[in-house]
Structure 1
């Protein structure tokens, strides 16, 4: 899928960074006096967990949508919050603040390595993960019922380990949810996506990995009294194996997308449409879809349909000047859409995409006056294609404003007002002709 188009940081991003800074500052204030002694006593334990968190951050996982996840880092951080007795090592009898400092050490070390390598450092994700771990550590090592914390019950074994394990899993889930909520808030702000939609996508795509993260932390704590520090790599190994499966699936999805992008260039090679027109329409359609709160699966289908929306032009004897279908007669637009849909239906698994392409020329008045069922994806492509045709490759603000004004003339008749509003939002922070980095790589 097309990589997200982001805009400058806003209140939610700075708020996440501020909360992360407060958590880290509070931990430093609480443990400044005992930090050196704790590091001396738990030297090997701290080193093992710092390295595990660092490795998890450096070897992140690219999900099929392009979203980056670091399940190994999250699982290692949560394990730091839960671990108590460790075979061959002093009992990890520390407070929540020290846990935060250990995890912060791993996260910041990974950020430094990425920076040295010239890679992007998502400090907001570091802050979100730190806050989530801080919440889990406080719930685990803070005061509990009758003055005993969950960590105390784990050490004293006054409660069955099965109960302790279940409570740990619940606490880990709370920490992960806090991290996901903060990450979704930042993503919704940057991508102009409703927060509920961003949260849905964050939870939906990484749900299986989230379950593994939630269970891995308690598993390390329960294995450590027997295996010692070997419990950490042992418990993380099954989670690391999932990297292979998810990575292979993501590569297959990218190959599929590249195949569709190659097919979309038939009209370009034949001289029917300008270079990269399909990519521009797809990029803009995805941005509009994000503003409207479409799910990751819906965005993927919108992108595929947008890439193939002009495929029917290969049936034309005489190309449309500039390939601008928005300037063609309605009957010609319909013939192009129907022919494109007919071609697409020969490919297995693209039935919905073909339906979107076929319905892209339907005027919005058919929905408003006659109740026709025109998919929102088709309405998005209609608006995005019109904007791309009217602006071409020009990103001058006056050209963008003129294109928006022209589209507004057809508001409610040709174009869905809600989609046009989303178009204005999607084009307010980025050039209309922008093609994202991943799309460029696909070419």
Structure 2
């Protein structure tokens, strides 16, 4: 279990900026009233519905959550980039946009909060700050008439919207990586890389839908909202089905990994602890999301080869066995994994976890080190953590990679 720590100054500053901006925008809007109330209500309902339909899939331990409410995000961006409705110019400004988006997001999140699965603080911060950025880039120029003088209302206008969306998406990726880095202390570079890769998928769909919505409403009016939001809503439902399948797949692997515990070959919870440690070390060393998934599955199934043994190893402690026995169990485990339909990359990690570390891929080095740490710390009593780390450091000449051991030390020091 992760030890709770004081809130990072970065998160406090971001939350303060988003919260202060929201309160000021709400106060300003309540004081001066809403411009184009029908339009504000329509977009508010769309954003709230998007939040009501939010989803979340479970990935590797500690995995970064992607956009859980793409319809709500697209609606918020469309409202921020709206200049006309049915051919008539709109007059809502940046503060009204922030107020409507914040109020609708919170309203749509109420049922989820009541069920104990409301949006995270990072999600709310990103929604407010990124929509504010898009609105500031578009609304002042449009309302002053300068945008029309610069690009007109033809193709260049659409390109301007796309440019604003691209910069907004980049800002959101940077902000997400910064917040995750502040919360978890994972390396910033890999976090930003994963966020940028995610823009190609759901991020591009959200941005494109937001741009199309704003352009369609400008021509056809509010009737365009349900027409252009339906495809993204259907896509969101498809993603929910896909996430459910992935979750079931992961649960199946977890159940299969528990076979060694049920049969008495390994202690209860060993596979789960090794998987959690392995994923934390993988994050610390900057592995991608795809590699983390392979790492988690391999860590869960790393002891599956012990089922072939006639006599169980005492406490399932393979780290204390001779290298030849470790290698035999690893090869048997890899053969079992290949018969389960799990990706072959997982079987490779299971097979090579007992190789000398200089010959191993990084994922196998991590699994081997995390497994040894859990076994050594469990058998060493109250001083298990320090004793296990000391023995791992002594084994860096041949058995354990020094960089992985030091990463494990940092992870354990943070309370994982």
Give the TM-score normalised by structure 2. 0.89
Aligned to 1:441: none
Aligned to 1:439: none
- Kindly indicate whether residue 58 of structure 2 is the aligned counterpart of residue 60 of structure 1: no
Aligned to 1:73: 72
Aligned to 1:118: 116
> In the superposition, relative to structure 1, how do residues 172 and 420 fare at CA in structure 2: closer, same or farther (>3 Å)?
same
Q: Secondary structure at the match of 1:411?
A: helix
Show CA shifts across 1:43-98 (max 9, x none): 2221222222222223223246362422112111111112232239x742122222
Deviates further, 202-211 or 354-363: 202-211
Aligned to 1:390: 376
Q: How does 1:123-142 map to 2 (within 5 A)?
A: 123-142=121-140
In structure 2, distance between residues paired with 1:44 and 1:411: 67
Aligned to 2:43: 49
Whether the aligned pair in 1 keeps the contact of 2:80 and 2:97 (CA below 8 Å) is: yes
In structure 1, distance between residues paired with 2:403 and 2:83: 55
Q: Which 4+ stretches in 1 moved above 6 angstroms?
A: 3-6
1:400 to 385, 397, 401: 385
Q: CA deviation at 1:6?
A: 8.0
Aligned residue-pair number: 411
2:348 to 352, 355, 370: 355
> In the superposition, relative to structure 1, how do residues 8 and 315 fare at CA in structure 2: closer, same or farther (>3 Å)?
farther
Whether the aligned pair in 2 keeps the contact of 1:78 and 1:136 (CA below 8 Å) is: yes
> In the superposition, relative to structure 1, how do residues 113 and 122 fare at CA in structure 2: closer, same or farther (>3 Å)?
same
Q: CA deviation at 1:36?
A: 4.4
In structure 2, distance between residues paired with 1:82 and 1:424: 48
Give the TM-score normalised by structure 1. 0.84
In structure 2, distance between residues paired with 1:157 and 1:225: 19
Aligned to 1:263: 256
Aligned to 2:338: 345
Deviates further, 297-306 or 58-67: 58-67
In structure 1, distance between residues paired with 2:146 and 2:5: 43
> In the superposition, relative to structure 1, how do residues 251 and 25 fare at CA in structure 2: closer, same or farther (>3 Å)?
closer
> In the superposition, relative to structure 1, how do residues 114 and 253 fare at CA in structure 2: closer, same or farther (>3 Å)?
closer
Where in structure 1 are there 5+ consecutive unaligned residues? 432-443
1:419 to 396, 401, 404: 404
Whether the aligned pair in 1 keeps the contact of 2:86 and 2:217 (CA below 8 Å) is: yes
Show CA shifts across 1:216-255 (max 9, x none): 2221222224432222222211111111222222222222
Whether the aligned pair in 2 keeps the contact of 1:7 and 1:191 (CA below 8 Å) is: no
2:145 to 141, 148, 152: 148
Aligned to 2:208: 215
Aligned to 1:304: 297
Q: CA deviation at 1:395?
A: 9.7
In structure 2, distance between residues paired with 1:392 and 1:186: 34
Q: Secondary structure at the match of 1:62?
A: coil
> In the superposition, relative to structure 1, how do residues 346 and 108 fare at CA in structure 2: closer, same or farther (>3 Å)?
closer
Deviates further, 218-227 or 232-241: 218-227
Whether the aligned pair in 1 keeps the contact of 2:151 and 2:157 (CA below 8 Å) is: no
Q: Secondary structure at the match of 1:410?
A: helix
Q: CA deviation at 1:324?
A: 0.9
> In the superposition, relative to structure 1, how do residues 261 and 408 fare at CA in structure 2: closer, same or farther (>3 Å)?
same
1:230 to 215, 223, 246: 223
Q: CA deviation at 1:5?
A: 9.4
Q: Secondary structure at the match of 2:221?
A: helix
Q: CA deviation at 1:288?
A: 0.8
Aligned to 1:321: 314
Whether the aligned pair in 2 keeps the contact of 1:4 and 1:191 (CA below 8 Å) is: no
Where in structure 2 are there 5+ consecutive unaligned residues? none
In structure 2, distance between residues paired with 1:256 and 1:349: 9
2:284 to 288, 291, 295: 291
Q: Secondary structure at the match of 2:84?
A: coil
In structure 2, distance between residues paired with 1:100 and 1:22: 11
Aligned to 2:415: 430
Whether the aligned pair in 2 keeps the contact of 1:61 and 1:68 (CA below 8 Å) is: no
In structure 2, distance between residues paired with 1:204 and 1:214: 14
> In the superposition, relative to structure 1, how do residues 57 and 303 fare at CA in structure 2: closer, same or farther (>3 Å)?
same
Whether the aligned pair in 2 keeps the contact of 1:5 and 1:287 (CA below 8 Å) is: no
In structure 1, distance between residues paired with 2:133 and 2:217: 22
> In the superposition, relative to structure 1, how do residues 326 and 358 fare at CA in structure 2: closer, same or farther (>3 Å)?
same
In structure 2, distance between residues paired with 1:18 and 1:37: 24
Whether the aligned pair in 2 keeps the contact of 1:390 and 1:403 (CA below 8 Å) is: yes
In structure 2, distance between residues paired with 1:266 and 1:108: 44
Aligned to 1:104: 102
Q: CA deviation at 1:269?
A: 2.1
